[in-house]
Amino acid sequence: MRVREHLPTSAQVEVAAETFRMLSSATRLLIVRILVDDEHDVTSLAELADVSVQAVSQHLAKMRLAGLVSSRREGRRIIYTVDDPHVVTMVEEIFDHIAPDGSLAPDPPARRPRRE
């Protein structure tokens, strides 16, 4: 059966599952969504996510270890960002799929092939 050639490796499946586990927390998913739009420090992330600075710091530490976010120092502040285009695309796609009321957003209309 040739289909097996296109299946992911067990290592790929494990890393993918861990990535989804990281994003299964509503707070972590919101933090990543905020960082997709712009970089922030812990204090501004806590304010935007309406979560304590301590909780945001703990979530960021886990996500940094998992490679979902990165950081850099600016003076006394640490600035966090999502710079992996795959993570950006994944997070943008899921929120494009969900309407503001929490229902599934309708699919965009299918494009009709051009007639020549």
Is 77 within 8 Å of 36 (Cβ atoms)? Answer: no
Burial class of residue 115, CB neighbours in 10 A (0-12, 13-18, 19+): exposed
Helices 26-37 & 85-97 angle (0-180, nearest 10):
110
pLDDT at 112: 65
CATH topology for the 12-97 domain: Arc Repressor Mutant, subunit A (1.10.10)
For residue 4, pLDDT beyond 90: no
29-33, 49-53, 83-87, 107-111: the lowest-pLDDT one: 107-111
